[in-house]
Amino acid sequence: MSLAPPQPLPLRWHLVRLVSGTLLPAVAFAAVIAFQLARLERGTVEKRAVHSARVLAESFEREMSGSIQALQALAESDRLDHGELEAFHVESERVRRTQPSWRHVLLLSPEGQPLVNTAYSFGAALPPLAERESFARVLETRQPLVGNLVVGQGARKQLAFPVRVPVVREGVLRYVLTAVITPQSLAGVVDSPSSDNADEWTRVLVDREGTVVARTREPARFVGRSATRPFLEKTRAAVEGMYADVSMDGEQVYVAFSHSSRSGWTAAIVSPRHVLDAPVGDSMLAVGGLGLGLLLVSAGGAWVFSRRLARSISEAEAAAAALAEGNPPRMEPSSVRELARLGEALDRSRLLLREREAERDAHLASAEAARAEAVAATRAKDAFLAMLGHELRNPLAPIVTSLELLRRRGLAQTPEHEVISRQLRHVVRLVDDLLDVARITRGQMSLHRVPLELASVVSRAVEAASPLIEQRRHALALHVPSSELPVLGDADRLTQVVANLLTNAARYTPPGGHIRLRAHDHEGGIALVVEDDGQGIPPELSSRIFEPFVQGPRSLDRSEGGLGIGLALVRSLVDAHGGRVELHSDGPGRGSTFTVWLPRHVQAELPVPEEVRKTSVPPAVGAAPERPVRVLVVDDNVDAAEALAELLGLSGYEVAVAHDCEGALSRAEAFRPEMALLDIGLPDVDGYGVAERIQDRLGPASPVFAALTGFGQETDRARSAAAGFRRHFVKPIDIDELTAFIESLRPARSGAA
């Protein structure tokens, strides 16, 4: 008759016995040396440092355990059983996106031949294996492990380390599955201490070969370098401890370390030596013998009482590992009630894990479908914005041209004309801002960077924003040096940044307010500050004020105007120039301060601006007057074409007008223009086709072509240039820009004659 197994005791009783065996001698020891606590501060600090190193090592192990479990789950894929490597490539990429720390996933044959690499398309040539030591150990032990930091074999030559898992089928190792992880992904592990130890200085992770993989202080300088020789000797001689050393920075330090037996990596906490070198004196020696004896007793008691508990925990660990590999967990009956229940919970977890995997696959499929819908919606929105800009610019073109005609005829000296001009400029600006947001969203914003002085940008921006500032009777104070503030940037886009900030300040400041614009050196760069005493910005809106279409509280009459995209453009353009923009506001009614920081451009001398070069060229003395340039305007918008022709006529040019392809061909043959301004969106035959037909008829006598259209995207400009158009004008056209282009044709035409 077999005896019934003893009833397992609760875990707390085992812990009580363990704590009693280890801490009671220590309590007695502490009572004896209570008067020496001040001198034992160093010991306390050392223990905290070693504990911090141990916590860092455990944090790393938890991070790697998560990756190993994810790889083991992926290794169970049916695709590998059937050799469907292309399908496994797709599945690996899907799993990789769920693991933020993974750079890419590799599948290797037992011979070390790369079969799948998610960093490359399937079937592409793959780089050879970079780190073979851990690969060989996987083949030998058939256990998951973490490799060493090496330089990758890809084109980028990045530092990375592998986490490898064997893929075994029916007792045969079929593949080795690897997740490649970069040192940057460990920043969260080393930068998030679990304690508030103010004495910690630098936190370091070192791989099995002694190479620094992660470091809180100057990682770009030290990651990839070998640790110091004393560090390697000490950490290979003991599991954990603390010793005096000279850091990689050359500082006198103490190093607390903890060596992980599972991965072979070492975690270290480097502290300044002066923190621990407090006077401990002879009192430590006086009680050292007694303390050592008591600690030995404590260690012996802990060892005796923890043997059974350790054996049960080891079985639980093995059962958990089996569960991670997809095998049924098995545990012998334990004397610890909680561990016995743990075995039952692990078996239930195996079933639950299978259900969660099915749910995960369903969620991934749903997310992929949602992403496809979002991409389609974004494309439709971009197409709508482009068409909206075209449709808005077409009716604006004849209005702008007609207003310019009235001005040149002296009929625009009325307040009503000024109101129309001001509001029309506002509408044109809104259309341009809306299309700029669309370009930035698609990543199509291009910059033409040249060296320039910030003062020239501010001057142009103030000129653009002056009408609104004067209309609202604001006092504008400028404190911008005329020189010594060089930047490398796009003059038009930087002018847009400053003008948007001034316009924003003018709109949200009550009439008669104050606006201040200043610029100065700051943090090795240049700071431009726009301050106002307007209505301010609520705290809940400050974090979102630079997002598109986000605006502060508006009055019922919307007197402030705008679409809420000006500040979004400011941030995007400043970011594109390598700078940053910040907002400070003390709240509603207390004004706002916008600060733009731009990198300083260092060079010997800034070039002379183009407008200065143009004005510095003296006119030819006694030059004979040239005959008028003949210009052909082709636009199906009759109002726009007639108004532009009349305006060009007032500017001294001979102009002919046509509204379709047939009219353009007949007028070109009879008029023989030197320049043809063609609307791209003509009916029946577009502007490109009209240009081809004119060239076929006139041959070498064909005019210079310029495009006129409501589409102003980069793709539109590239297409017109490829079709042979010399310039691409966007409606409503700038008459000064057009006349400057026509005048630039005179030397070429006269030289040809």
In a domain, 191, yes or no: no
Among the three residues 573, 605, 637, which one is the final residue of a domain in this structure? 605
The pLDDT, as a whole number, for residue 156 is 77
Among the three residues 605, 636, 671, which one is the final residue of a domain in this structure? 605
Shared-domain flag, residues 428 and 453 = no
Spatial distance between the Cα atoms of 142 and 563, rounded to a whole number of angstroms? 62
Spatial distance between the Cα atoms of 451 and 605, rounded to a whole number of angstroms? 9
The pLDDT, as a whole number, for residue 557 is 42
pLDDT digits (tens, 9 = 90+) for 24-65: 666 566 555 555 665 677 778 788 888 988 998 899 999 899
* Averaged pLDDT score across all residues of the chain: 79
The pLDDT, as a whole number, for residue 73 is 92
DSSP code for 85? H
Shared-domain flag, residues 652 and 558 = no
Q: Does residue 279 or residue 701 have the better pLDDT?
A: 701
In a domain, 423, yes or no: yes
Q: Is the pLDDT of residue 519 over 90?
A: yes
Q: What are the φ/ψ torsions at residue 226 (nearest 5 degrees)?
A: -80, 145
Most confident of 148-157, 528-537, 737-746: 528-537
Query: Taking a C-beta distance cutoff of 8 angstroms, is the pair 535, 403 a contact?
Result: no
Most confident of 63-77, 286-300, 382-396: 63-77
Most distant CA pair in the chain: distance in Å? Answer: 132
Number of domains comprising the chain = 2
The torsion defined by the Cα of 691, 693, 698 and 701, in degrees rounded to 10, comes to: 20
Shared-domain flag, residues 484 and 432 = no
Shared-domain flag, residues 420 and 461 = no
Shared-domain flag, residues 601 and 635 = no
3-state secondary structure of 158: coil
Query: Taking a C-beta distance cutoff of 8 angstroms, is the pair 336, 318 a contact?
Result: no
Shared-domain flag, residues 433 and 456 = no
Shared-domain flag, residues 455 and 423 = no
Query: Taking a C-beta distance cutoff of 8 angstroms, is the pair 164, 144 a contact?
Result: yes
Tokens of 17: 């016995």
> Which pLDDT band holds residue 529 (cuts at 50, 70, 90)?
very high
Mean pLDDT of 690-708: 90
Q: Does residue 76 or residue 552 have the better pLDDT?
A: 76
Comparing 34-38, 616-620, 622-626, the range with the smallest average pLDDT is 616-620
Shared-domain flag, residues 515 and 598 = yes
Shared-domain flag, residues 431 and 483 = no
Exposed (0-12), middle (13-18) or buried (19+): which is 675, by Cβ within 10 Å?
Answer: buried
Q: Does residue 314 or residue 4 have the better pLDDT?
A: 314
The pLDDT, as a whole number, for residue 556 is 39
In a domain, 647, yes or no: yes
What CATH number is associated with residue 405?
3.40.50.2300
What CATH number is associated with residue 491?
3.30.565.10
Query: Taking a C-beta distance cutoff of 8 angstroms, is the pair 70, 360 a contact?
Result: no
Spatial distance between the Cα atoms of 497 and 566, rounded to a whole number of angstroms? 8
The pLDDT, as a whole number, for residue 190 is 87
Shared-domain flag, residues 556 and 516 = yes
Q: Is the pLDDT of residue 109 over 90?
A: yes
In a domain, 566, yes or no: yes
Among the three residues 571, 605, 639, which one is the final residue of a domain in this structure? 605
Pairing outcome for strands 727-730 and 114-117: unpaired
In a domain, 702, yes or no: yes
Spatial distance between the Cα atoms of 93 and 475, rounded to a whole number of angstroms? 59
> Pick from 671, 670, 682: which is nearest to 708 by CA?
682
Q: Is the pLDDT of residue 753 over 60?
A: no
Rounded to two decimals, the pTM is 0.37
pLDDT digits (tens, 9 = 90+) for 459-501: 989 998 888 899 889 999 999 998 889 999 988 889 989 998 9
Q: What are the φ/ψ torsions at residue 32 (nearest 5 degrees)?
A: -65, -40
Q: Does residue 648 or residue 335 have the better pLDDT?
A: 648
Q: Does residue 712 or residue 300 have the better pLDDT?
A: 712
Domain that holds residue 655: 372-437+628-753
pLDDT digits (tens, 9 = 90+) for 140-191: 999 999 999 998 877 778 899 999 999 999 889 999 999 999 998 888 888 8
The pLDDT, as a whole number, for residue 294 is 55
Pairing outcome for strands 675-679 and 630-634: parallel
Q: Does residue 154 or residue 709 have the better pLDDT?
A: 709
Q: Does residue 305 or residue 400 have the better pLDDT?
A: 400
In a domain, 330, yes or no: no
In a domain, 193, yes or no: no
H or E stretch at 136: helix 133-141
Shared-domain flag, residues 426 and 462 = no
Percent of the chain with pLDDT over 70: 69
Spatial distance between the Cα atoms of 67 and 101, rounded to a whole number of angstroms? 9
In a domain, 558, yes or no: yes
Spatial distance between the Cα atoms of 545 and 36, rounded to a whole number of angstroms? 59
Shared-domain flag, residues 741 and 663 = yes
Tokens of 244: 């005096």
Whether the bond between 732 and the residue before it is cis, its omega within 30 degrees of 0, is: yes
